[in-house]
Amino acid sequence: MAGQLKEVRNRIKSVQSTQQITKAMKMVSAAKLRRAQDAIIQMRPYARKLQEMLSNIVSNADGDLSIKLAEERPVEKVLFIVITSDRGLCGAYNSNIVKLARLTIESKYMAQYKKGNVAIWNIGKKGFESLSKTGYKTDAAHKDIFLNLTFENVQAAAQAAMKAFESREFDAVEIVYSEFKNAATQFFQCESFLPIPKVQKKEGAKKADFIFEPEKDALIAELMPKILNTQLYKAVLDASASEHGARMTAMDKASENANELLKSLKISYNRARQAAITTELTEIVSGAAALQG
């Protein structure tokens, strides 16, 4: 009986120690989430407007403009930029992103995958570890971006993807990431990065009449890479906020589960103590009765 009590006490101490860790991690994630959330909220309207403007320009070019980054060609080679986190303990966040990447490959690019023509560039260590173990062609050149998350580091990855597309190393580039909504909700997205997607024109819609200053070719050649850099940076900021939100939620649930487990363990401990006391009393009474007899 004494051994059972000691075992339950040890389990209670272990759960309490774990709960302290989960509460501390929740507080750290909450602080990081506020900063990441502010960054993406400020960035999102700007990035969306730039993307809308870029798509409109491409859609209304009508062949009068040579835009290499918008060139649609038969898709033989595909690049996926998969954005996950560097660390775990954030629920199903990373596994959902990896799952979406794999499902997209299987449903959309299976023929290219069978030929070995699907490559994956990872941003974040967890995605790299998971996908490289399952036989995908992964590249770790940009996986450490979250160690120093700056626009310049993300820009380097975006420019490398643009260069690879222009040189026909890839015919399509897709971004897989998590779009942040709030701490408890993330939307897992697979978006086309290259070629630049066109806006679907509505019937009877008028062609947008843009005034270009300076010359159209020079302006678009300068503008397009900058807008694409911004698009990837927005996706990385979304992923950063999503990661901290997912981790904060996961640690909050873990702390709640620890509370429930502590309640159960304390009930078990009290029952064991009562049983031990009852046994001792029974033994005392039996001994006293034997002496009297």
Range(s) of the domain holding residue 205: 23-251
- pLDDT confidence of residue 203: 57
Structure tokens at 244: 């901290």
> Percentage of residues in the chain with pLDDT exceeding 90?
65
Choose between 215 and 193: higher pLDDT. Answer: 193
- pLDDT confidence of residue 69: 85
Residue positions annotated with a catalytic role: 90
- Is 134 domain-assigned? yes
- Is 112 domain-assigned? yes
Give the residue among 22, 27, 33 at the shortest CA–CA distance from 243.
33
- Is 170 domain-assigned? yes
3-state SS, the chain, equals: CHHHHHHHHHHHHHHHHHHHHHHHHHHHHHHHHHHHHHHHHHHHHHHHHHHHHHHHHHHCCCCCCCCHHHCCCCCCCEEEEEECCCCCCCCCHHHHHHHHHHHHHHHHCHHHHHCCCEEEEEECHHHHHHHHHCCCEEECCCCCHHHHCCHHHHHHHHHHHHHHHHCCCCCEEEEEEEEEEECCEEEEEEEEEECCCCCCCCCCCCCCCCCCCCCHHHHHHHHHHHHHHHHHHHHHHHHHHHHHHHHHHHHHHHHHHHHHHHHHHHHHHHHHHHHHHHHHHHHHHHHHHHHHC
User: Does pLDDT of 47 surpass 80?
Assistant: yes
- Is 5 domain-assigned? no
- Is 3 domain-assigned? no
Contact residues for 292 (Cβ-Cβ < 8 A; gap 6+):
none
Instruction: State how far the Cα of 132 lies from the Cα of 150, in Å rounded to an integer.
Output: 26
- Is 9 domain-assigned? no
- Confidence grade of residue 275 (pLDDT, cut at 50, 70, 90): confident
Q: What is the mean pLDDT of residues 62-87?
A: 85
Q: Model pTM? A: 0.85
* Cα Rg of the chain (Å, integer): 29
The enclosing domain of 105 has a CATH number of 3.40.1380.10
- The number of folded domains in the chain is 1
Any idea which of 59-68, 77-86, 116-125, 234-243 has the lowest mean pLDDT? 59-68
> Percentage of residues in the chain with pLDDT exceeding 70?
90
- Is 143 domain-assigned? yes
Instruction: State how far the Cα of 288 lies from the Cα of 290, in Å rounded to an integer.
Output: 5
Instruction: Write out pLDDT tens, residues 10-19.
Output: 999 999 999 9
Q: What is the mean pLDDT of residues 68-76?
A: 88
- Is 2 domain-assigned? no
User: Does pLDDT of 28 surpass 70?
Assistant: yes
Q: What is the mean pLDDT of residues 223-230?
A: 90
